[in-house]
Chains A and B, each alone.
Chain A
């Protein structure tokens, strides 16, 4: 079991949507714009970097550009070299190393507001055909709306639940929380990351069992599960 059989992992719809978006923007002759979040490595940034790698490979296949605005938080300083490396090797893996241009991954600012302003500026100037917004906070809505104004398809990552609600309305497709993680793990094909997703799911099954048994016991005036969880 250590090596060999990977646990099952559902291919999420987001990947098809991303593939479509890349294809459509290439048809329109426009670049793709994708961001992967602002903070230092957390589970979302790691997953978004896998998605970025996938998008870069798809784009390299059809000779398209990927523009990656970076910044927004001092943590982005840690993530930037990794991101540049990922996009570069994606282009090289498709044999299109010469298409990679580091100027397409501009470092806008550490300051959140000027990062947001720079991001919007990029959207207006480059007029991408697809904008894939990473785990951003309140600014995500702004990018999605401006992207829509230039006629781009929008795919956004819902980072916290109120954000998901707003993006579910505004964006063409929203990856709801863990969907982004599942997409990232699916693309990375790393056993350990799929296993961690599996671990999370085991906790969820555990929650289901606890709730079902607990509710039945509560109905029978038995507080065993509640007491168990109160330790």
Chain B
């Protein structure tokens, strides 16, 4: 299989960045880690700069060139936003901030109430008994009762005594069983990501010797530098 120079160099640099960042596990800053970290931050910020300037050009300036002059307002407000840089004039930025806050509130409020309250409450109104389906019956019962108990756990402005005390205690148990499930799901996600990345740096086959070789080199160099006390100076 022929590998293009582009793919080859990308793979080698990515592998080097990978192992350099993993030297964090040695518990001390190594020059490899500092180099990789700053390269990563630099590229990331450069990329964000390009994307944002491009976006402001296509969505802010080209409409004006097309004749949609009301977009000039966007440019003026953006410039007002920049006044945050100068402490003396940073009050000017309050106007664009107020417009942004008001608009996003208007956009979010209606759908938020619907998707995160009304529809969620509606989804809890389910039959207690499903004929001929024991699993569904148990599951519905757990959802309704568990949900109600858990709501009482999250109530803070009513004194927790009498039945409320017991229900909030049970609600806490419901919460922790749920958290266990979520913990496991999160672990699966993180493990999948790590595995996916390890696949990326070991597939296709030609990457394997480079992956293992660079790992050994980076870690060996870091450990030797640590023994010689050079990490303090260059880390």
Establish whether A and B are touching in the complex (CB under 8 Å).
yes
Q: Which residues of A contact B (CB under 8 A)?
A: 7-10, 12, 77-78, 109, 111, 113-114, 117, 121, 149, 161-162, 164-166, 168-169, 176-179, 182, 194, 197-198, 201, 203-205, 207-208, 210-212, 214-215, 218-219, 225-226, 229-230
Question: By the criterion CB–CB under 8 Å, are B126 and A218 in contact?
Answer: yes
A201, B175: Cα distance in complex, Å: 18
B143-160 vs A, Cβ < 8 Å mask (1 yes, 0 no) = 010011001101111111
Question: By the criterion CB–CB under 8 Å, are B127 and A219 in contact?
Answer: yes
Q: Which of B45, B155, B182 has the most CB of A within 10 A?
A: B155
Q: Which of A169, A179, A204, A230 has the most CB of B within 10 A?
A: A204
Question: By the criterion CB–CB under 8 Å, are A197 and B157 in contact?
Answer: yes
Closest 5 CB pairs of A and B: A214-B125, A165-B182, A165-B183, A182-B156, A165-B179
The SS class assigned to the A binding surface is helix
B40 within 8 A of A: yes
B63 within 8 A of A: no
Question: By the criterion CB–CB under 8 Å, are B156 and A77 in contact?
Answer: no
A205, B45: Cα distance in complex, Å: 46
Partner of A203 from the list B117, B128, B186 (CB cut-off 8 Å) is B117
A110, B154: Cα distance in complex, Å: 34
Partner of B156 from the list A9, A78, A114, A169 (CB cut-off 8 Å) is A9
A8, B153: Cα distance in complex, Å: 16
The answer to whether residues A169 and B44 also contact, given A211-B125, A230-B122 and a CB cut-off of 8 A, is no
Partner of A161 from the list B144, B160, B182 (CB cut-off 8 Å) is B182
B136 within 8 A of A: no
Query: Distance (Å) between the CB of B225 and the closest chain A CB?
Result: 18
The answer to whether residues A77 and B126 also contact, given A9-B157, A215-B144 and a CB cut-off of 8 A, is no
Q: State which residues 116-135 of B face A: CB under 8 Å.
A: 117-119, 121-122, 124-129
Partner of A215 from the list B125, B151, B185 (CB cut-off 8 Å) is B125
Partner of A168 from the list B44, B144, B159, B179 (CB cut-off 8 Å) is B179
Question: By the criterion CB–CB under 8 Å, are A215 and B128 in contact?
Answer: yes
B residues less than 8 Å from A219 (CB atoms) = 127-129
The answer to whether residues A229 and B128 also contact, given A165-B180, A197-B157 and a CB cut-off of 8 A, is no
Add 14 more A-B contacts to A78-B84, A162-B182, A201-B156 (CB < 8 A): A8-B157, A9-B156, A10-B158, A10-B159, A10-B160, A113-B41, A161-B182, A165-B186, A201-B157, A204-B155, A210-B121, A214-B124, A215-B124, A219-B128
Q: Which residues of B contact A (CB under 8 A)?
A: 27, 29, 37-38, 40-41, 44-45, 84, 117-119, 121-122, 124-129, 144, 147-148, 151-152, 154-160, 175-176, 179-180, 182-183, 185-186
Question: By the criterion CB–CB under 8 Å, are A218 and B127 in contact?
Answer: yes
Query: Distance (Å) between the CB of A127 and the closest chain B CB?
Result: 13
A219, B37: Cα distance in complex, Å: 60
Question: By the criterion CB–CB under 8 Å, are A211 and B147 in contact?
Answer: yes
Partner of A207 from the list B151, B156, B179, B182 (CB cut-off 8 Å) is B151
Residue on B with the closest CB to A230?
Answer: B122
Question: By the criterion CB–CB under 8 Å, are A201 and B185 in contact?
Answer: no
Partner of B186 from the list A9, A162, A194 (CB cut-off 8 Å) is A162
Residue on B with the closest CB to A12?
Answer: B156
Question: By the criterion CB–CB under 8 Å, are B175 and A176 in contact?
Answer: yes
Residue on A with the closest CB to B37?
Answer: A117
A residues less than 8 Å from B154 (CB atoms) = 177-178, 204
The answer to whether residues A211 and B127 also contact, given A10-B156, A162-B186 and a CB cut-off of 8 A, is no
Query: Distance (Å) between the CB of A114 and the closest chain B CB?
Result: 5
Query: Distance (Å) between the CB of B161 and the closest chain A CB?
Result: 11
A111, B37: Cα distance in complex, Å: 11
A208, B163: Cα distance in complex, Å: 15
A212, B219: Cα distance in complex, Å: 61
Question: By the criterion CB–CB under 8 Å, are B186 and A210 in contact?
Answer: no
Question: By the criterion CB–CB under 8 Å, are A111 and B176 in contact?
Answer: no
Residue on A with the closest CB to B127?
Answer: A218
The answer to whether residues A229 and B159 also contact, given A162-B185, A211-B147, A218-B126 and a CB cut-off of 8 A, is no
A residues less than 8 Å from B175 (CB atoms) = 176
The answer to whether residues A208 and B148 also contact, given A111-B45, A218-B125 and a CB cut-off of 8 A, is yes
A77, B81: Cα distance in complex, Å: 12
Q: Which of A169, A201, A219 has the most CB of B within 10 A?
A: A201
A residues less than 8 Å from B128 (CB atoms) = 215, 218-219
